[in-house]
Amino acid sequence: MKKGKSMRFISVGMVLLWLLTVPLLAGAVQSTGEAGIIIDKTSYVPGEQIRLQFKAPANWPGNAWIGIIPSNVSHGSESVNDQYDITYQYIEQRTSGVMVFTAPGVGQWDLRMHDTDSNGREIAFASFTVSDSMPAANDTDYQLRLEKTVFAPGEKIAVRFQASANWPGDAWIGIIPSNVSHGSEPVNDQYDITYQYIEQRTSGVMVFTAPEVGQWDLRMHDTDTNGREIATISFRVR
Protein backbone atom coordinates (compact mmCIF):
# COMPACT_ATOMS: atom_id res chain seq x y z
CA MET A 1 0.00 0.00 0.00
CA LYS A 2 1.33 3.41 -0.92
CA LYS A 3 2.17 5.89 1.75
CA GLY A 4 -0.05 8.86 2.51
CA LYS A 5 0.53 12.19 4.17
CA SER A 6 -1.69 11.26 7.12
CA MET A 7 0.37 8.14 7.79
CA ARG A 8 3.62 10.04 7.68
CA PHE A 9 2.88 12.16 10.72
CA ILE A 10 2.08 9.06 12.74
CA SER A 11 5.15 7.06 11.83
CA VAL A 12 8.02 9.51 11.65
CA GLY A 13 10.22 10.94 14.37
CA MET A 14 11.30 14.52 14.78
CA VAL A 15 13.07 15.99 11.76
CA LEU A 16 16.00 18.32 12.32
CA LEU A 17 16.44 20.65 9.38
CA TRP A 18 19.92 21.99 8.92
CA LEU A 19 22.09 22.09 5.83
CA LEU A 20 25.15 19.88 5.65
CA THR A 21 28.46 21.69 5.36
CA VAL A 22 30.64 18.60 4.88
CA PRO A 23 30.36 15.83 2.26
CA LEU A 24 28.61 12.62 3.21
CA LEU A 25 30.92 9.74 4.16
CA ALA A 26 28.53 6.99 3.08
CA GLY A 27 26.12 6.77 0.20
CA ALA A 28 25.81 6.07 -3.48
CA VAL A 29 26.04 7.99 -6.73
CA GLN A 30 23.39 7.74 -9.42
CA SER A 31 22.92 9.38 -12.79
CA THR A 32 20.84 12.37 -11.64
CA GLY A 33 23.42 13.51 -9.10
CA GLU A 34 24.90 12.53 -5.78
CA ALA A 35 22.67 10.80 -3.25
CA GLY A 36 23.65 9.18 0.02
CA ILE A 37 22.99 8.65 3.70
CA ILE A 38 25.11 8.27 6.82
CA ILE A 39 24.09 7.45 10.39
CA ASP A 40 25.77 8.60 13.59
CA LYS A 41 26.74 5.05 14.70
CA THR A 42 25.89 1.43 13.94
CA SER A 43 24.63 0.06 17.30
CA TYR A 44 21.54 1.19 19.24
CA VAL A 45 19.15 0.06 21.95
CA PRO A 46 15.36 -0.04 21.36
CA GLY A 47 13.86 3.45 21.51
CA GLU A 48 17.18 5.26 21.06
CA GLN A 49 17.28 8.11 18.55
CA ILE A 50 19.03 7.48 15.23
CA ARG A 51 20.42 10.60 13.60
CA LEU A 52 20.71 10.34 9.82
CA GLN A 53 22.31 12.79 7.40
CA PHE A 54 21.26 12.67 3.76
CA LYS A 55 22.10 14.17 0.41
CA ALA A 56 19.70 13.97 -2.56
CA PRO A 57 19.21 15.44 -6.07
CA ALA A 58 16.86 18.43 -6.32
CA ASN A 59 14.94 16.84 -9.20
CA TRP A 60 13.57 13.92 -7.19
CA PRO A 61 9.80 14.15 -6.60
CA GLY A 62 8.42 15.13 -3.21
CA ASN A 63 7.60 11.53 -2.32
CA ALA A 64 11.21 10.27 -2.41
CA TRP A 65 11.68 8.66 0.98
CA ILE A 66 13.95 7.06 3.57
CA GLY A 67 12.69 4.25 5.79
CA ILE A 68 13.71 1.53 8.23
CA ILE A 69 13.52 -1.97 6.73
CA PRO A 70 14.71 -5.36 8.06
CA SER A 71 18.19 -6.15 6.72
CA ASN A 72 17.09 -9.53 5.37
CA VAL A 73 14.74 -7.91 2.83
CA SER A 74 16.27 -8.04 -0.65
CA HIS A 75 17.77 -4.79 -1.93
CA GLY A 76 17.03 -2.72 -5.03
CA SER A 77 13.25 -2.47 -5.42
CA GLU A 78 11.40 0.44 -3.82
CA SER A 79 8.08 -1.37 -4.10
CA VAL A 80 9.46 -4.38 -2.19
CA ASN A 81 10.95 -2.14 0.50
CA ASP A 82 7.58 -0.35 0.70
CA GLN A 83 5.98 -3.62 1.80
CA TYR A 84 8.36 -4.10 4.74
CA ASP A 85 9.25 -0.63 6.08
CA ILE A 86 8.27 -0.03 9.69
CA THR A 87 8.65 3.74 9.57
CA TYR A 88 9.65 6.31 6.96
CA GLN A 89 10.07 9.99 6.18
CA TYR A 90 9.70 11.88 2.91
CA ILE A 91 12.70 13.83 1.59
CA GLU A 92 10.34 16.50 0.16
CA GLN A 93 12.76 17.71 -2.52
CA ARG A 94 15.42 18.77 -0.03
CA THR A 95 18.97 18.31 -1.31
CA SER A 96 20.48 17.74 2.14
CA GLY A 97 19.47 17.61 5.77
CA VAL A 98 19.03 15.51 8.88
CA MET A 99 16.30 13.09 9.88
CA VAL A 100 15.82 11.52 13.30
CA PHE A 101 14.32 8.04 13.61
CA THR A 102 13.61 5.90 16.66
CA ALA A 103 15.43 2.57 16.92
CA PRO A 104 12.98 -0.35 16.57
CA GLY A 105 13.10 -3.74 18.30
CA VAL A 106 16.16 -5.96 18.61
CA GLY A 107 17.56 -7.11 15.27
CA GLN A 108 19.45 -6.16 12.13
CA TRP A 109 17.97 -3.20 10.26
CA ASP A 110 18.67 -0.89 7.31
CA LEU A 111 17.85 2.72 6.60
CA ARG A 112 17.19 2.77 2.85
CA MET A 113 16.82 5.76 0.52
CA HIS A 114 14.48 5.72 -2.51
CA ASP A 115 14.10 8.12 -5.43
CA THR A 116 10.27 8.01 -5.48
CA ASP A 117 7.33 6.27 -3.80
CA SER A 118 5.92 5.26 -7.20
CA ASN A 119 7.70 2.07 -8.30
CA GLY A 120 11.08 3.67 -7.67
CA ARG A 121 14.56 2.41 -6.89
CA GLU A 122 16.59 1.93 -3.73
CA ILE A 123 19.51 4.34 -4.13
CA ALA A 124 21.51 4.02 -0.90
CA PHE A 125 21.39 2.27 2.47
CA ALA A 126 23.08 2.13 5.89
CA SER A 127 22.84 -0.88 8.20
CA PHE A 128 22.62 -0.90 11.99
CA THR A 129 22.06 -3.29 14.89
CA VAL A 130 19.57 -2.94 17.73
CA SER A 131 20.39 -4.92 20.88
CA ASP A 132 19.00 -5.15 24.42
CA SER A 133 22.09 -3.70 26.07
CA MET A 134 24.39 -0.79 25.42
CA PRO A 135 27.82 -1.57 23.91
CA ALA A 136 30.77 -1.59 26.28
CA ALA A 137 32.09 1.81 27.29
CA ASN A 138 33.33 3.85 24.35
CA ASP A 139 32.43 1.16 21.79
CA THR A 140 30.30 3.75 19.98
CA ASP A 141 33.53 5.63 19.21
CA TYR A 142 34.76 2.69 17.12
CA GLN A 143 33.44 3.14 13.62
CA LEU A 144 33.75 2.14 9.98
CA ARG A 145 32.82 4.58 7.20
CA LEU A 146 32.62 4.29 3.42
CA GLU A 147 32.44 7.02 0.80
CA LYS A 148 29.75 5.01 -1.01
CA THR A 149 27.94 1.70 -0.56
CA VAL A 150 27.69 0.34 -4.12
CA PHE A 151 30.72 -1.06 -5.98
CA ALA A 152 31.58 -3.07 -9.07
CA PRO A 153 33.50 -6.35 -8.75
CA GLY A 154 37.21 -5.62 -8.48
CA GLU A 155 36.71 -1.95 -7.58
CA LYS A 156 38.79 -0.54 -4.72
CA ILE A 157 36.95 0.03 -1.41
CA ALA A 158 38.50 2.61 0.92
CA VAL A 159 37.17 2.23 4.47
CA ARG A 160 37.93 4.73 7.23
CA PHE A 161 38.15 3.31 10.74
CA GLN A 162 38.34 4.47 14.34
CA ALA A 163 39.69 1.94 16.84
CA SER A 164 41.05 1.64 20.38
CA ALA A 165 44.74 1.97 21.17
CA ASN A 166 44.19 -0.73 23.82
CA TRP A 167 43.30 -3.42 21.32
CA PRO A 168 46.01 -6.00 20.55
CA GLY A 169 47.87 -6.00 17.27
CA ASP A 170 45.64 -8.73 15.84
CA ALA A 171 42.42 -6.69 15.95
CA TRP A 172 41.11 -6.86 12.40
CA ILE A 173 38.68 -5.70 9.73
CA GLY A 174 37.39 -8.10 7.12
CA ILE A 175 34.82 -8.60 4.37
CA ILE A 176 32.08 -11.08 5.33
CA PRO A 177 28.79 -12.01 3.61
CA SER A 178 25.92 -9.94 5.05
CA ASN A 179 23.86 -13.04 5.83
CA VAL A 180 26.39 -14.27 8.42
CA SER A 181 25.07 -13.63 11.95
CA HIS A 182 26.61 -10.68 13.81
CA GLY A 183 28.49 -10.40 17.09
CA SER A 184 30.98 -13.29 17.26
CA GLU A 185 34.52 -12.79 16.01
CA PRO A 186 35.16 -16.58 15.74
CA VAL A 187 32.07 -16.96 13.53
CA ASN A 188 33.09 -14.03 11.33
CA ASP A 189 36.59 -15.53 11.15
CA GLN A 190 35.13 -18.64 9.52
CA TYR A 191 33.44 -16.69 6.72
CA ASP A 192 35.69 -13.70 5.93
CA ILE A 193 37.00 -13.66 2.36
CA THR A 194 39.73 -11.10 3.08
CA TYR A 195 40.99 -9.15 6.09
CA GLN A 196 43.57 -6.71 7.38
CA TYR A 197 44.99 -6.23 10.88
CA ILE A 198 44.52 -2.84 12.56
CA GLU A 199 47.93 -3.13 14.28
CA GLN A 200 47.05 -0.84 17.21
CA ARG A 201 46.29 2.17 15.03
CA THR A 202 43.48 4.36 16.40
CA SER A 203 42.37 5.63 12.99
CA GLY A 204 43.23 5.30 9.35
CA VAL A 205 42.15 4.02 5.96
CA MET A 206 42.28 0.48 4.62
CA VAL A 207 41.80 -0.39 0.96
CA PHE A 208 40.05 -3.62 0.01
CA THR A 209 39.01 -5.03 -3.37
CA ALA A 210 35.30 -5.49 -3.99
CA PRO A 211 34.40 -9.19 -4.22
CA GLU A 212 31.83 -10.82 -6.50
CA VAL A 213 28.24 -9.61 -6.88
CA GLY A 214 26.25 -9.76 -3.65
CA GLN A 215 25.58 -8.18 -0.26
CA TRP A 216 28.65 -7.84 1.95
CA ASP A 217 29.78 -6.32 5.25
CA LEU A 218 33.03 -4.81 6.42
CA ARG A 219 33.24 -5.85 10.09
CA MET A 220 35.70 -4.68 12.75
CA HIS A 221 36.86 -6.93 15.63
CA ASP A 222 38.75 -6.16 18.84
CA THR A 223 41.03 -9.23 18.63
CA ASP A 224 41.61 -12.34 16.53
CA THR A 225 41.41 -14.54 19.64
CA ASN A 226 37.76 -15.22 20.54
CA GLY A 227 36.97 -11.52 20.22
CA ARG A 228 33.90 -9.43 19.51
CA GLU A 229 32.49 -7.76 16.42
CA ILE A 230 32.60 -4.07 17.32
CA ALA A 231 31.33 -2.26 14.22
CA THR A 232 29.94 -3.08 10.80
CA ILE A 233 29.04 -1.31 7.57
CA SER A 234 27.26 -2.94 4.64
CA PHE A 235 27.81 -2.53 0.92
CA ARG A 236 26.55 -4.01 -2.32
CA VAL A 237 28.53 -5.31 -5.30
CA ARG A 238 26.64 -5.32 -8.60
pLDDT at 40: 79
pLDDT at 24: 34
SS3 77: strand
In this structure, the answer to whether residues 99 and 191 fall within a common structural domain is no
Angle at 93 between CA 89 and CA 95, to 5 degrees: 100
Give the Cβ contact number of residue 59 at 10 Å. Answer: 11
Could you list the residue range(s) of the whole structural domain that residue 191 is in?
Answer: 141-237
Q: Would residue 157 count as lying in a domain?
A: yes
Give pTM, 2 decimals.
0.52
Of 106, 130, 154, which marks where a domain is finished?
130
pLDDT at 13: 33
In this structure, the answer to whether residues 147 and 87 fall within a common structural domain is no
pLDDT at 23: 33
pLDDT at 184: 87
User: Which residues does the chain have with pLDDT short of 70?
Assistant: 1-33, 133-141
pLDDT at 133: 60
pLDDT at 194: 98
In this structure, the answer to whether residues 120 and 209 fall within a common structural domain is no
Residue 109 exposed, middle or buried by CB count within 10 Å (0-12, 13-18, 19+):
buried
Residue 72 to residue 234: CA distance in whole angstroms:
12
